[in-house]
């Protein structure tokens, strides 16, 4: 796990900070979200929304990246609740990893519908969207 520190707005910043590798940070966050519970499979996935799909979905172009969080679709209510809980825990881990890498991020719990995502070209397979994570290079 990452060690957390406190960032003060009054603290001096390095004179020449290295540029943030957002794609690398998202990849590390995806790997760090891991599979929780006694199962080997991941009922959740993180899908980076490409620029053309962002435009079609009318997502803010001011964000450096948008990530759709999806969960495996199931019809059984109890199983769905369990998978959703695992998915949201993984999303928290994902966001913590991003923050530790210097990526400002925020959760939005009203993602576009599965049909809208597919129509925009976001390949979510047969999963259902749970939320969106807005990512911005920290500064």
- Say if residues 92 and 36 touch (Cβ distance below 8 Å): no
pLDDT in tens, 91-121: 999 999 999 999 999 999 999 999 999 999 9
- Position 1 scores a pLDDT of 47
Q: How far apart are CA 111 and CA 52, in angstroms?
A: 17
The runs of H, that is alpha helices, within the chain are 22-33, 51-57, 77-100, 114-120
Q: How far apart are CA 68 and CA 109, in angstroms?
A: 10
pLDDT in tens, 29-77: 999 997 655 556 789 999 999 999 999 999 999 999 999 999 998 888 8
Q: Is residue 2 scored above 90 in pLDDT? A: no
Which domains, and CATH codes, for the chain?
22-137 (3.40.109.10)
- Position 38 scores a pLDDT of 57
Q: How far apart are CA 130 and CA 91, in angstroms?
A: 10
């Amino acid at each position: 796990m990452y060690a957390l520190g406190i960032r003060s707005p009054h603290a001096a910043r390095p004179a020449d900070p290295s540029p943030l590798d957002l794609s690398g940070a998202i990849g590390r966050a995806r790997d760090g979200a891991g599979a929780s519970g006694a199962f080997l499979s991941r009922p959740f996935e993180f899908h980076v929304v490409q620029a053309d799909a962002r435009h079609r979905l009318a997502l803010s172009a001011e964000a450096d990246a948008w990530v759709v969080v999806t969960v495996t679709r199931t019809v059984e209510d109890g199983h769905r609740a369990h998978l959703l809980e695992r998915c949201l825990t993984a999303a928290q881990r994902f966001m913590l990893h991003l923050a530790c890498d210097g990526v400002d991020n925020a959760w939005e719990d009203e993602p576009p519908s599965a049909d809208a995502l597919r129509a925009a070209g976001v390949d979510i397979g047969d999963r259902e969207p749970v939320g969106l994570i807005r990512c911005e290079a920290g500064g």
